Each structure stands twice: as C-alpha cells, then as structure tokens.
Amino acid sequence: MKFFFFILLFIAINVSAQNRADILIRNGKIIDGTGNSWVYGDVAVKDSTIIAIGNLKNWQADKIIDATGLIVAPGFIDVHTHIEDDEIKNPFANNFIMDGVTTVITGNCGSSHVDVKQYLSFIDSLHISINVATLVGHNDVREAAMGMDNRAPTNDELNKMKSLVEKAMQDGAVGFSTGLIYTPGTYAKTDEIIALVKVAATYNGVYATHMRNESDSVNYAIAEALNIAKAANISLEISHFKVGGQQNWGRSKQTLAMVKQARAEGLDVTIDQYPYTASSTSLNTLLPEWILADGDSTVRKRLQEPDIVKQAAGYMLKKLAARKLQHFSYAVVAYYKADTTLNGKSIEQINLLWKRKHTATEETKTIIDMVKNGGASMVFHGMSEDDVKYIMQYPFNMPASDAGIRKFGEGAPHPRGYGTNARVLGKYVREENIMSLEDAIRRMTSLPAQKFHFKDRGLLREGFAADIVVFDANTVNDLSTFQRPHQYSTGFKYILVNGKLTLNNGVHTGARNGKALYGEGYIK
C-alpha cells in the first residue's frame, strides 16, 4: 500500500513537472504561419521558447491567457524598417509592438551602420522591445570609402568597399542593401553593385534594393535589380514594390510580370510592400541627383547659383507636368526641422503661406529654399489603389512598414509606421478579401523568416522562439491616418517577445526582451 502511494506521488510530481509552463495561451485559433488553416489549440511557453502546442488541458502555468475567440500567430517580422537612431529615443518600439511586430530588419535602402558588430552589440546592451537584424547599406559603405563623390570608384576604393561589406557580413549582417535614388549610392553603376553584392552572396546574405527608379523608368530599374541578383547568384528582395506617379498608374501588371518571369527562370526574388497609396522620403529626391553631390555645403553653394536653380526648377516642373498636376499639392511635409509648424502641410500650402504667387514655378523656389534650410522628410501622394491591390495579391509579397520607431506625437510621419499589419489584416483581408487571413499571416511570419534565414522564428512550433501575437481578427484595424498619424493600431491583445509578455490586454508592459539576430556569415 505504501509502495503504491509512492508510485502515485512519483507520477503526480512527474506530471506536474512535465506540464508546467511560464505562460499558457488557451483556446485560441492557432494560425501557425505556414499558410495552413486555423485550428483550435493551446500554446505553452517556458523561458524564451515554445515548449508545447495542441490540447494542453492538463497543463499549468504562472500566467494563463484566455484566447477564446482570438487568433494566436507567430510574431510578425517586418523586413523593411529604418530604426537607426530611434532605438535610444524609444526602446519600447510601441508603434511596432502595437502593430504585432516582434522582429524588424533595419539597414534598408542603402542606409545602415557600417560597423555592424558595434551596432548589434549596442542593440543587445540597450535592450529594446523587439528583435533586430540588420543589412549593411551601400550608401554608407560608399561614403566611408570615397565620400560623396559623383564618380566610379578607383580599384582601391572598390576593394575598401568590398572589405567593409565582408566585415559587416562576418559581424552578422543578414545581407546588403542599396538605395539607388539617394546620394551617394545613386552615383554607382551596375558593375560596382554586382561586385559588392557578390561579397554578401558569399555569406548567404540577401540583396535588398530600393531600386534606381519606381516610376517612369521602373522596368529598367527592375531589370537592373534582377541582373545584379543573377550575376551575383543571390536571393533578391525588391523593397517597397510600387509604381509611382499618376502617369504610371496601371503599370503594376507589367512590373509584377517581370518578377514572376524571373522566378519562373529560377531567380529567388521576393518583394515587400507597404499598403498605402502614398510614399515617404526626403524632399531632396525632387531635385536632379547631380546637384546633390559632394556634401551639404557644396549643395547649398550650388543652389545659390541662378543658373543651377533654373535648371533644377525646369527639371521639377517637367516632372510635375508628367504627373498631370498643376501644383505640388501631392508633396506633403512630414517633418521640417527648420520650422515644424509646417509639418503636415503641402508644398502648395507652404508656398502660399510664404506669400508667394500661386504658381508651380514659385513652388519650386519654395522647395529649393527648404532644401537649403536642411531639407525635410516628405509624404508623396502618387500611387493608385488598384496597383497597390494588384501587387498585394502576389503571394510572395510581404507587408513591410518602411518605418522607424515612432516618437509619439512628433512630426507628421507616414501612417505606415503605426498601421501596416493592422491595415492588411483589417482593410485588405477582412473587408476586401484580397487574401485569406492565413495567407496574410504566412507573409508576415514564415515568408520573411525563410527569406532571411531566421531558423527558429516565423512559425508556431515546439522549440521555436516564443515570439507570439494574439489578436482579434474581427476588430483589428489601423487608426493612423495622414491627417492624424500618431494613433496605434487596435485589435492586438497579447504579444510575447522571446517568451516575455510585452503586450498585456492591449497595454505595453514595459518589457524589453528583444535581441540582436545575426546572419549566417556571423563569426563570433
């Protein structure tokens, strides 16, 4: 009898030891990230890891989350962000957390820290609320090797760039990025980029590109990106895939066909997209690129010369006419450091505020004056909803914010930094049926994880990192708008980052459990 009692006790201890989790998410509809249909089930988390999934009725946990009626999915991975310099200002990364994002890839559009080792250890020492991986950016590598010069590199300079890329890949970058509309990257010819992308390919990196053009010459730009990837034998990510400029509306059918064709021919190419009809970038991009060479003081000097101002104005007016617009009404200031009261106003409005004549020619002067005063970040309203949706239907397209960590209330930034994923899940999945919920989640989770080789993220699987989102598919919505950008998405209830509860019943807990994620070339 006594013996029997001990056996019972042994079993009881054993069962309780086996079936104990830190956090148990019960009764949710599990969407695992593969694209498969939802199933009912529970998820158990211990430390930073998912330890069990399924019917876990007999399990116990310190914290039990009732997910009845809610979706349980892997944390979203945002492959296209720019968080540099904002990590310290807001390590809670609220705008990402409140939109379901648990991992970001930064260093996009050719802009990154060149010293990736230092950057990733900074991320680990700072402790922010999301995981961070980085690309190494061509523009910064080029500037480090040869300044802002508008010319081809010498052999020595090219070798310097190659060794910087190699070092960055060994330090844990997940790939190489270009921003070919920005200085000084825009001065690079295709062969320079191929040479550098080949280095990233050696370390199994990805080539992510903000292409040379996203409007009139977009097909040449896509062709260049595809050729680079083919020549370097690398996996290609075309960033914020779009067709800009009113005159180009409808061309997404051609441009997406090029991507599909390249895949059919064996090139590993995927795309990402922010689900909005406006873009956001620097005011400088309105000016011809040759004016922007050699650094700020030279640019300012150039813009004092009447002849150059005239050429710049002519260039801008021609582009405006191509859009079939009378005014720079489509160009709205997000953040103008020299005078923040102008944030949220269009160039047309600012020109009138400055008591200038209501003509496009006067507006070009306003633009040039603003560039001379330090420039501005802008929102440009120039895409068609039909193109956005057509591109969105492509199954190997991932939603990505192209945003930084927002400082709540500062400036008039593009709403994509707050609402990208909620907008896809609310507007495009629930309301407009562009894709199924399961497919949207696949593109937010396992597709980016596969692309960037995050081997234990992007799926709900035993042994995987416990990055988990719990949300209400019936109410998830983006609230951020161009007029009132500083509004968090709704519908996200619970979020775990590496096993730590970071969103609890819709409220950020203050947890900062994200970490740096290293690429495959990483050498300790």
Residues of this chain that bind Zn ion (CB under 5 A): 109, 210
**Closest CB 376 distance from Zn ion, rounded Å:** 17
Give residue 245's region: left, alpha or beta (phi > 0; psi -120 to 50). Answer: left
In the complex with Zn ion, the residue whose CB is nearer, 211 or 459, is 211
In the complex with Zn ion, the residue whose CB is nearer, 248 or 502, is 248
**Closest CB 28 distance from Zn ion, rounded Å:** 35
379 sits in which H/E element: strand 377-381
In the complex with Zn ion, the residue whose CB is nearer, 23 or 181, is 181
In the complex with Zn ion, the residue whose CB is nearer, 101 or 181, is 181
In the complex with Zn ion, the residue whose CB is nearer, 207 or 464, is 207
In the complex with Zn ion, the residue whose CB is nearer, 139 or 490, is 139
**Closest CB 239 distance from Zn ion, rounded Å:** 5
In the complex with Zn ion, the residue whose CB is nearer, 109 or 441, is 109
**Closest CB 337 distance from Zn ion, rounded Å:** 20
Q: Are 315 and 287 in contact (CB under 8 A)?
A: yes
What does the alpha-carbon distance between residue 133 and residue 452 come to, in Å, rounded to a whole number? 9
**Closest CB 211 distance from Zn ion, rounded Å:** 9
105 sits in which H/E element: strand 101-106
Closest CA to 437 of 119, 29, 9, 147: 29
Per DSSP, 515 falls in state: -
Question: Judging by DSSP bridges, how do beta strands 71-74 and 468-471 pair with one another?
Answer: antiparallel
Radius of gyration of the chain (CA): 24
**Closest CB 240 distance from Zn ion, rounded Å:** 6
**Closest CB 439 distance from Zn ion, rounded Å:** 25
What does the alpha-carbon distance between residue 355 and residue 349 come to, in Å, rounded to a whole number? 10
Closest CA to 75 of 18, 132, 19, 24: 132
**Strand order in 101-106's β-sheet?**
76-78, 101-106, 131-134
The owner of tokens 């054993």 is: 14
3-state secondary structure of 80: coil
In the complex with Zn ion, the residue whose CB is nearer, 78 or 348, is 78
Per DSSP, 154 falls in state: P
**Closest CB 179 distance from Zn ion, rounded Å:** 6
In the complex with Zn ion, the residue whose CB is nearer, 364 or 401, is 401
In the complex with Zn ion, the residue whose CB is nearer, 186 or 364, is 186
Q: How far is CA 258 from CA 225, 234, 240, 384, 443, in A?
A: 11, 17, 16, 19, 20
Q: Which residues of 347-378 are buried (b: 16+ CB within 10 A; e: fewer)?
A: bbbbbbeeeeeeebebbbbbbbebbbeebbbb
Closest CA to 487 of 400, 403, 421, 417: 417
Backbone angles phi, psi at 52, to 5 degrees: -160, 150
3-state secondary structure of 73: strand
Q: Which two tokens stand for residue 165?
A: 């890329």
Q: Are 437 and 383 in contact (CB under 8 A)?
A: no
**Closest CB 420 distance from Zn ion, rounded Å:** 14
What does the alpha-carbon distance between residue 518 and residue 116 come to, in Å, rounded to a whole number? 10
